[in-house]
């Protein structure tokens, strides 16, 4: 029997293939900006600003709420339509911070529905952020 639990997160999510990264941070921290940079690197929008995370039999899946699916707020342009994917496997959580730890001693994790997800803390608005996220995604994909 299939069990599904769903929760909404204040986060922007993009996917590379069928695997997604959720970007968390306070309003104005650069979630959409980082997502746009990742989209420029070949990622596809899942959801902007609000992401639905579902636990489908122990696998975290990300989608957009129907009211905002395929829409992204781009500062200076407003709300724009974008290509979108849904129901993708969530494999990484990125948390935008002003001053993340340089060399964390222990692996960082985000726990959602009791499932541990690798977490990467990245400096808000850092020019290197999309490269760092892309490297982390590749490493996780290689380990799976």
Residues catalogued as catalytic: 10, 31, 49, 102
Convert 107-116 to b/e letters by CB count within 10 Å (16 or more is b).
eeebebeeee
Look at residues 93, 86, 132, 137 and name the one whose alpha carbon lies nearest to residue 113. 93
Whole-angstrom distance, CA of residue 14 vs CA of residue 43: 6
Helix 31-40 crosses helix 129-143 at what angle (to 10 degrees)? 70
- Closest listed residue to residue 83, CA positions, set 31, 124, 42, 52: 42
Tokens standing for residue 77: 């342009």
* Cβ 118 vs Cβ 135: under 8 Å: no
The DSSP letter of residue 64 is -
């Amino acid at each position: 029997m299939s069990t599904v639990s769903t929760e909404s997160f204040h986060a922007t999510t993009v996917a590379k293939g069928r695997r997604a990264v959720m970007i968390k941070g306070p309003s104005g921290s650069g979630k959409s900006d980082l997502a746009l940079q990742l989209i420029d690197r070949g990622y596809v929008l899942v959801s902007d600003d609000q992401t639905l995370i579902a636990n489908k039999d122990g696998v975290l899946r990300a989608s957009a709420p129907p009211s905002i699916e395929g829409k992204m707020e781009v500062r200076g342009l407003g709300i724009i339509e974008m290509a979108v994917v849904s129901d993708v496997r969530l494999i990484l959580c990125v948390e935008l911070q002003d001053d993340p730890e340089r060399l964390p001693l222990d692996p960082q994790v985000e726990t959602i529905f009791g499932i541990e997800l690798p977490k990467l803390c990245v400096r808000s608005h850092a020019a290197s952020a999309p490269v760092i996220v892309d490297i982390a995604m590749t490493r996780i994909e290689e380990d799976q």
